[in-house]
Amino acid sequence: MNDKDLDPRGLISEAYRMEDVTEADCRVIFLDWVMGARDRRIGPPEIARLLELHAESAPDHPMTKVLREGMTSISVAPGRKGGSRARR
């Protein structure tokens, strides 16, 4: 996956350019970025690449903190467990 495909709408990049952005704002932006990734997998490798692209130039930015937290807290959704098979 190239860098443009990683952040196709530029949400994360734009967050780093915003002045006076808060950690709460960055959490909302991060969630929007994850939710918008329905056609691709998002996990620690993708977040690590975003950190490589942005964190060195902005180590104290709230988005850097959110991405670092995302590295440890994001998980792959489990498979579907509903329906009649789950009740057997």
The pLDDT tens digits along the chain (88 residues) read 678 889 999 999 999 999 999 999 999 999 999 998 878 788 899 999 999 999 999 999 999 999 999 988 866 555 556 666 666 6
Task: Give Cα separations from 24 to 1, 28, 34 (angstroms).
Answer: 28, 6, 15
Question: What is the rounded distance in angstroms from the CA atom of residue 72 to the CA atom of residue 7?
Answer: 20
Contact (Cβ atoms closer than 8 angstroms) between residue 54 and residue 10:
no
- Longest CA span, the chain: 55
